[in-house]
Amino acid sequence: MFRDRTDAGRQLAERLATLDLVDPVVYALPRGGVPVAVEVAARLHAPLDLILVRKIGAPGWPEVAMGAVVNGEDPQTIINADVYAATGSDSAGLARARQAELEEIERRRRRYLGDRPQVSPAGRVAVIVDDGLATGATAKAALAAVKRQGAARTVLAVPVAPADTVADLRELADLVVVLEVPAEFWAIGPFYTDFHQLTDDETIGLLQEAWSGG
């Protein structure tokens, strides 16, 4: 369906460009959302920034999201109640997992952003971009974060997501833009020819090129 994340980003950017979004700022969910968001920001002539969100994985099943946490002075945590209950995890286990993800968020903030000031969404259209959604836990945390920071309007934009997740997120975002909502969805990767895991170096290189106007 998509050659790679750059291809997906270009297709998503063309869809978003038809919406006449006023004063947008594009926020990527790293790492996978960065190549997609780079294309969107370029097409919309919008600033590009990051929202650092980490999935809180279920015990023994790290790819299954019990919830997610987003950085900030008062870190926002979103819990997927059904998944949390099904895992048999307790509050202490959740707290440990949350703290570990906050430490990874801080590592990435230093590595990706350094001293670069973040772009405030206050009074603007906040466009949150990822390479796809599964449970939507990270997107929910990101939406909560930009709303708390005063975004005038929230747009969640992804290339692919399952119908039930899209329905949930339409309750939280002002607008959800998804290119493909497949009837059968197991994971994001099968919808890409190249869906390799980006390294920190790749991610930083893409961000630096975008920020330098390259």
pLDDT tens per residue, range 118-150: 899 999 999 999 999 988 888 988 998 899 889
- Whole-structure pTM value: 0.86
Helices (H), 109-152: 137-148
Show me where the domains of the chain are located: 5-51+114-211, 55-112
Cα 142 to Cα 193: distance, rounded to the nearest angstrom: 27
Which one is predicted more confidently, 79 or 73? Answer: 79
DSSP structure string for 74-107: S-EEEE-HHHHHHHT--HHHHHHHHHHHHHHHHH
pLDDT at 60 over 70: no
Confidence band, pLDDT 50/70/90 cuts, at residue 44? very high
Find the mean pLDDT for residues 188-204. Answer: 96
- Please report the pLDDT score of residue 14 as a whole number: 98
pLDDT at 46 over 90: yes
- Please report the pLDDT score of residue 63 as a whole number: 67
Here the tokens at position 160 are 């692919």
Residue 104's identity, in one-letter code, is: E
pLDDT at 187 over 80: yes
- Please report the pLDDT score of residue 169 as a whole number: 96
Please, which residues have CB within 8 angstroms of residue 120's CB and are 6 or more apart in sequence? 149, 150
- Please report the pLDDT score of residue 124 as a whole number: 97
- Please report the pLDDT score of residue 74 as a whole number: 66
Q: What is the dihedral of CA 92, 95, 96, 99, to 10 degrees?
A: -160
Find the mean pLDDT for residues 78-105. Answer: 77
For the chain, give the percent of residues with pLDDT over 90: 60
Find the mean pLDDT for residues 157-177. Answer: 96
Phi, psi of 72 (to 5 degrees): 145, 175
Residue 37 CA: distances (Å) to CA of 25, 95, 210: 10, 31, 10
Mean per-residue pLDDT over the chain, rounded: 89
* Residue 27: closest CA among 10, 51, 5, 45: 51
Contact 125, 23 (CB under 8 A): yes
Here the tokens at position 97 are 């997992």
CATH number for region 5-51+114-211: 3.40.50.2020
Cα 160 to Cα 15: distance, rounded to the nearest angstrom: 13
Residue 47, judged by CB atoms within 10 A of its CB (0-12, 13-18, 19+), counts as middle
Residue 126 CA: distances (Å) to CA of 59, 78, 152, 209: 33, 19, 8, 22
